């Protein structure tokens, strides 16, 4: 009956009973005093002695009762203090293990050790940590860490690694758990939803403590007691709250560090597997890492030698533009940090033989953990420069082979190789081709009259006028032989060909080169044969040239200084 009454109330009740009893005794004595006869005084004294003795005995009993209550309270207080000290010691040891672990290793052993210490100090059967996720307005809990006592290993297992709040609608997720309220105490006194859910797991007492990271609900720290009913005191909850927050922060930090370490490993794997020299600069413009390709490129023994000597030994004092190498490199790295990307040519110095190495450098800003770094990729251009020089000489020789030595326009060899390629390409695409055969009118008479030197000059001026009349990149003019020229106009229809023919005749006349032996004019003129058509498969180049040549013959026959057109 008095089991759930507080100590203060028990003492108060005892004192009230004592006062009432004493009051009754005094009242009884007074009534007896007024009712006795004079001869009964001796009886009154005896009765008073008896009553006093009874009162004294009752007082002694009350004093014993109160003393027993106080002793019980003191024992309970000492027990609570011991349990609190035991819990504090366990929490301190758990905190120490979290502070001492290597943050670049998995935190699981430290967390499980802490859960075991806390669980053992509370005589709990299970302690576990659940990670909270909100997915489509549904609460999903992921069990990340669990410690079991030896006795708990024989009990019903916990739910799976993942549980969803919608699977347990009777639990007050939104009202209590998601708002950060601590739920603790005897399961038998909790609402029906908790009793049903926890009863299956044989849990008699539980504490559910929310865990926060950056003021956001991160998860829950649960303590299950299955062997007996036990209340969690306010002091115990106050002690458990900080360690739960510390564990959540440590788990989250370890996860981020492990992810960052994994990123670093992948990054270095990519750098080391790259055939290009690669190195990393931090925001203080220090070279903090490199790959083995860089070590090999500059002839260093290892990465340490590379990092200690690169800035001072691997560039000449000045770059080809006259700027100091160290100043220019600092400015370029800063630019990469600001803009995110930077590409430039650089001249390096190879420490072993002091030879110069032309290079192409690309700087890229990337995020590494919580900081930005710049990765520099260096491409050795020595072989490429040698190859480019060879190609340049080959192309120069080839270009010379394709140029007419007198007029500097394309020659017959270029025409023969190019027209075959153009015809095949247009045959595949079904495109149009226009071709012109051109001859300087009465050129033999010009040479006879003005001399071969003037004739050469005349050929050169006419070649320039023809070249200036065609402007598209695919169009070209070539010297066909002697005083003959050819104009090739891919993807040009009849109207375009006629317009260009008129322009060519006009531009040659504008040269105003005197020619008194010309039957068509007093100055140098030209005659043209023009043909246009859609190039068909298996159509030969000779067929198209013959049509243009025949049209040229007709232009000469009809008086020169004109063009004649025919489709093919």
> What CATH number is associated with residue 453?
3.30.70.270
Q: Is residue 264 part of a domain?
A: no
Q: Report the CATH number that the domain containing residue 152 is assigned in CATH.
A: 3.30.450.40
Q: Are strands 526-534 and 162-164 parallel, antiparallel or unpaired?
A: unpaired
Q: What is the largest CA-CA distance in the chain?
A: 191
Residues 438, 552: contact at Cβ < 8 Å? yes
Q: What is the pLDDT, as a whole number, of residue 26?
A: 63
Q: Is residue 395 part of a domain?
A: no
**DSSP strand pairing (476-481 vs 484-490):** antiparallel
Q: Are 314 and 323 in contact (CB under 8 A)?
A: no
In this structure, are 253 and 139 located in the same domain?
yes
The catalytically annotated residue of 215, 262, 339, 483 is 483
Burial class of residue 207 (count of CB atoms within 10 Å of its CB; 0-12, 13-18, 19+): buried
Please enumerate, as own/partner, the contacts of 422-431 that have beta carbons within 8 Å and a separation of 24 or more. Answer: 422/474, 422/488, 422/490, 423/535, 423/539, 423/541, 423/544, 425/490, 426/490, 426/491, 426/535, 427/535, 427/536, 427/537, 427/538, 427/539, 430/534, 430/535, 431/490, 431/491, 431/534, 431/535
Per-residue model confidence (pLDDT) at position 25: 62
Number of domains in the chain: 4
Strand 341-350's sheet: what is its strand order?
A: 287-290, 277-281, 371-380, 355-368, 341-350
Residue 45 and residue 151 in one domain: no
533 domain-assigned? yes
- d(CA 386, CA 382) in angstroms, rounded, equals 6
Residues 6+ apart with CB under 8 A from 129: 111, 115, 143, 144, 145, 146, 211, 219, 220, 221, 222, 247, 248, 251
DSSP element (H, E) containing 266: helix 234-273
Amino acid 567: pLDDT = 94
Look at residues 149, 173, 153 and name the one whose alpha carbon lies nearest to residue 163: 173
* Residue 284 in domain: yes
pLDDT value of position 78: 73
| Pair of tokens at residue 566 | 């025919």
**Residue 279 and residue 375 in one domain:** yes
Answer yes or no: is 159 within a domain.
Answer: yes
Asked whether residue 202 is assigned to any structural domain, the reply reads yes
Kindly state whether residues 141 and 288 are assigned to the same domain. Answer: no
- Looking at the fold, whether 173 and 244 belong to one and the same domain comes out as yes
SS3 231: coil
State the CB neighbour count (10 A cutoff) for residue 285: 13
Residue 301: DSSP 8-state: S
**Are residues 373 and 238 part of one domain?**
no
CATH of the domain at 350: 3.30.450.20
The residue among 320, 348, 382 that closes a domain is 382
Residue 549: which residues within 8 A CB-CB, separation 6 or more? 437, 529
User: Considering 24, 52, 84, which residue would you say is the last residue of a domain?
Assistant: 84
Q: Which domain holds residue 41?
A: 7-84
Same domain, 299 and 239: no
Token digits of residue 565: 């057109």
Tens place of pLDDT for every residue, the chain, 568 residues?
A: 445 556 566 666 666 666 666 666 666 666 655 655 545 555 556 565 666 666 666 666 666 666 776 677 677 777 767 778 888 888 888 888 888 877 778 888 999 999 999 998 988 999 999 888 877 767 788 888 999 888 877 777 776 676 766 666 556 655 666 677 888 889 888 888 788 888 878 889 999 998 888 878 888 899 999 888 888 888 888 889 888 888 988 888 888 888 777 777 776 776 777 788 888 989 888 888 888 888 888 889 898 888 888 888 888 888 878 889 999 999 999 999 999 999 999 988 888 777 888 889 999 998 876 789 999 999 888 887 777 766 665 565 666 778 888 998 999 989 998 999 999 999 998 899 999 999 999 999 999 999 999 999 999 999 999 998 988 888 999 999 999 999 999 999 999 899 999 999 999 999 999 999 999 999 999 999 999 999 998 899 999 999 999 999 999 999 999 999 999 9
**Strand order from edge to edge, sheet including 216-225:** 162-164, 138-148, 126-135, 216-225, 205-213, 183-186
Please report the beta strands in 351-399, taking only residues with DSSP state E, as ranges in sequence order: 355-368, 371-380
Report yes or no: 272 and 291 within 8 Å, Cβ to Cβ.
yes
- Is residue 396 in a domain? no
Select from 206, 226, 257 the last residue of a domain: 257
Tally helices (H) and strands (E) across the chain.
14, 16
pTM: 0.47
One domain, residues 185 and 124: yes
Residue 558: per-residue pLDDT: 95
Whether 117 and 94 have beta carbons less than 8 Å apart is answered as yes
State residue 158's pLDDT score.
72
Q: Is 172 found in the same domain as 39?
A: no
Residues 207 and 326 in one domain: no
Q: Tell me if 223 sits within 8 A of 207, measured CB to CB.
A: yes
Residues 413 and 557 in one domain: yes
Assess if residue 58 is contained within a domain. yes
Same domain, 253 and 282: no
Residue 483 annotated as catalytic: yes
């Amino acid at each position: 009956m008095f089991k759930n009454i507080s100590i203060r109330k028990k003492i108060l009740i005892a004192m009230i009973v004592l006062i009432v009893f004493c009051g009754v005794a005094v009242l009884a004595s007074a009534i007896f005093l007024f009712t006795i006869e004079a001869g009964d005084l001796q009886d009154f004294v005896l009765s008073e002695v008896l009553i006093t003795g009874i009162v004294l005995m009752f007082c002694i009993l009350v004093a014993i009762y109160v003393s027993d209550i106080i002793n019980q309270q003191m024992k309970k207080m000492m027990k609570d203090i011991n349990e609190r000290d035991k819990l504090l010691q366990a929490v301190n040891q758990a905190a120490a293990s979290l502070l001492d672990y290597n943050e670049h290793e998995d935190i699981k052993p430290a967390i499980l050790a802490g859960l075991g210490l806390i669980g053992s100090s509370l005589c709990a059967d299970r302690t576990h940590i659940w990670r909270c996720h909100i997915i489509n307005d549904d609460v999903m809990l992921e069990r990340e860490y669990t410690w079991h006592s030896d006795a708990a290993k024989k009990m019903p297992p916990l739910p799976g690694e993942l549980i969803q709040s919608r699977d347990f609608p009777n639990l007050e997720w939104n009202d209590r758990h998601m708002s950060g309220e601590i739920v603790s105490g005897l399961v038998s006194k909790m609402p029906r939803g908790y009793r049903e859910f926890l009863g299956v797991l044989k849990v008699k007492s539980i504490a559910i403590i929310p865990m926060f990271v950056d003021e956001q609900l991160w998860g829950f720290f649960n303590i299950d007691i299955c062997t007996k009913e036990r209340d969690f005191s306010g002091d115990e909850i106050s002690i458990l709250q900080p360690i739960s927050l510390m564990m959540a922060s440590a788990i989250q930090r370890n996860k981020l560090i492990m992810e960052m370490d994994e990123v670093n490993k992948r990054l270095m794997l990519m750098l080391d597997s790259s055939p290009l020299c690669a190195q990393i600069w931090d925001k203080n413009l220090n070279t903090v890492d490199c790959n083995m390709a860089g070590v090999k490129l500059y002839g260093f023994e290892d990465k340490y030698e590379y990092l200690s000597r690169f800035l001072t030994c691997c560039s000449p004092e000045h770059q080809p533009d006259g700027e100091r190498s160290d100043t220019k490199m600092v400015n370029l790295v800063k630019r990469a940090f600001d803009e995110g990307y930077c590409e430039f040519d650089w001249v390096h110095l190879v420490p072993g033989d002091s030879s110069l190495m032309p290079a192409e450098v690309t700087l890229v800003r990337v995020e590494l953990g919580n900081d930005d770094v710049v990765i520099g990729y260096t491409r050795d251009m020595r072989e490429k420069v040698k190859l480019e020089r060879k190609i340049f000489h080959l192309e120069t020789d080839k270009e010379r082979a394709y140029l007419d030595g007198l007029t500097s326009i394309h020659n017959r060899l270029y025409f023969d190789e190019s027209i075959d390629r153009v015809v095949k390409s247009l045959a595949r695409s079904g495109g149009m081709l226009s071709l012109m055969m051109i001859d300087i009118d009465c050129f033999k008479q010009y040479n006879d009259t003005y001399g071969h030197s003037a004739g050469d000059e005349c050929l050169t001026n006419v070649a320039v006028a023809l070249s200036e009349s065609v402007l598209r990149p695919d169009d070209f003019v070539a010297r066909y032989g002697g005083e003959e020229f050819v104009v090739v106009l891919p993807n040009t229809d009849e109207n375009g060909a006629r317009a260009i023919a008129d322009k060519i005749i006009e531009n040659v006349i504008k040269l105003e080169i005197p020619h008194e032996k010309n039957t068509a004019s007093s100055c140098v003129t030209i005659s043209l044969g023009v043909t246009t058509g859609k190039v068909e498969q298996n159509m030969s180049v000779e067929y198209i040239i013959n049509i243009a040549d025949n049209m040229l013959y007709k232009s000469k026959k009809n008086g020169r200084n004109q063009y004649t057109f025919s489709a093919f």
